[in-house]
Structure 1
Amino acid sequence: MKLELNSKLKKYRPLLWILVIPLLNICYGLLNHEGVRANNLMTELDAQIPFVPAFIIPYILWYPFIIVMLVVIFLKSKNTYYRTLLTFCLGLIVSYIIYYFYQTTVPRPQVNDNGIIYSLVRFIYMTDQPFNCFPSIHVLTSYLVWKGSSNCRDLSFKSRSLITLMMGAIVVSTLFVKQHYVLDIAGAIFIVEVLYYIVGKLLPFSIQAEHKASVSSSL
């Protein structure tokens, strides 16, 4: 019984690598303040996007979404899990380097209304200073786990649709709660595409190899 339990725990041990993320996140707090110059990347499109407080809900749901998705990817494909997690960590490091050398800011609206939605907005504004905007880590990580899940071939259509919907809601929420600009989103997606490709080439295994092995075993 004890050996069986140890075997099961050993199977899930790779999930402990997720703890690297909060360690790296210490850098975010150190950089989340105005530097010598905070740049503003607002475009004409950003100026037309209204402040919609209700989008604070998907914005906050980002936290459990990321953890749940990393676990799902791990359960579905170990190779994809390692590729996604390594890209995740490298994406954070690249973002922190950009924050250090090119700090940006997004001016926020005044939120004086009462109600739980507005309280949540004020809480986010209070705990996260209006810096560290380009690229958006919310978008970078949400897009990354969505991309990783697309390589998990046995996910159902319903699951994929739900993941896509959640990812999309989080991405647009960053605009509607005035945490990020359009360029912050574009930059995050670009970084994911580049790093995910590089990591896939450098790791000693590939998603394609895993798929071929599974196909061969089924023949």
Structure 2
Amino acid sequence: MNKIFLLIIFLLVKSIYIPLNKRKSKYYWKIKFDNYIPLISIFVIPYLGFYIYIVTTIILLWNSKYINNYFIIYIISYILACLFWYFVPNGVKRPKIYKKDIFSKLTAYVHKYDDDTNGFPSAHIFATLICSYFLALTFPQYLILIWSVNFFICISTVLVKQHYVLDILGGIITFWLSIMIGGLFLGF
């Protein structure tokens, strides 16, 4: 399949997130453990670094044998997540931020412009896992770096209060379902 065609489908499917993010959440799946996780605003850096990670992954995989599989798995994951977000609109209630340092201001900006919807499953989690999975296949000599970046992006989701712990679990499940479904079609 043509990677340009898959890139276009990838971008179209990702764009579905925008209208779904403007809907009102009905469900909030906060568990007691979430109360013990502090807001650590400096983690807004890896949280926003997620977007750079996606672009970097596409660039690094572009001429590899994995680029088509990457796009297909990513598309499957977004379709699964969008269906869930549509039929089970859920979100994350965000705390008020009182500190005035640059990281707190940036976190407040993220909270303001990224509505409190589409919490479960976490797109940051499943997308980061997909990026890391295919980067690890392509560049096994950089496993520690790849999975370290993955860890910091994933942990940032709860440390900047963009997600609850259960959203992480949902992201992991979405990743594995996407790999399993993709494996049926792609034979891996």
Asked whether the two chains share a fold, i.e. TM above 0.5, the reply is yes
Q: Which residue number in structure 2 is paired with residue 25 of structure 1?
A: 14
- Whether 1:123 and 2:109 are equivalent positions in the alignment is yes
**How far did 1:192 drift?**
1.2
The number of equivalent residue pairs is 187
Q: Matches of residues 79-118 of structure 1 in structure 2 within 5 Å?
A: 80-118=66-104
Other-structure match for 2:47: 59
Provide Cα deviations, 1:141-177, integer angstroms capped at 9, x if missing partner.
Answer: 001111122322xx253x2211111110000000000
Residue of structure 2 equivalent to 1:40: 28
User: What is the CA–CA distance in structure 1 between the aligned matches of 2:183 and 2:4, rounded to whole Å?
Assistant: 19
Q: Does 1:202 align with 2:188?
A: no
Partner SS, residue 151 of structure 1? helix
Higher relative contact order (CA 8 A, sep 6+): 2
Q: Provide the TM-score with structure 1 as the length reference.
A: 0.78
Unaligned regions of 5+ residues in structure 1, if any? 1-12, 207-219
CA distance in 1, matches of 2:33, 2:162: 15
- 129-138 or 190-199, larger mean C-alpha shift: 190-199
- Name the structure 2 match of 1:149: 135
Amino acid across the alignment from 2:16 = C
**CA distance in 2 between partners of 1:27 and 1:17 (Å):** 16
C-alpha contact (below 8 Å) 2:53/2:131 kept by paired residues = no
Separation in structure 2 between the aligned mates of residue 156 and residue 150 of structure 1, nearest angstrom: 5
Identical columns (%): 26
**How far is the alpha carbon of 1:34 from its aligned partner?**
4.2
Partner residue in 1 for 2:37? 49
2:121 and 2:173 map into 1 onto residues whose CA distance is 9
Secondary structure, aligned partner of 2:62: helix
Aligned-residue RMSD, C-alpha: 1.9
- Paired residue type of 2:19: L
Counterpart residue type for residue 156 of structure 2: S
Residue 97 of structure 2 aligns to a residue whose secondary structure is coil
TM-score in terms of structure 2 length: 0.90
The 2-side partners of 1:57 and 1:188 are apart by 20
Gaps of 5+ in 2: none
SS of match in other structure, 1:25 = helix
Distance (Å, rounded) in 1 between the aligned partners of 2:11 and 2:157: 21
Match of 1:134 among 120, 142, 146: 120
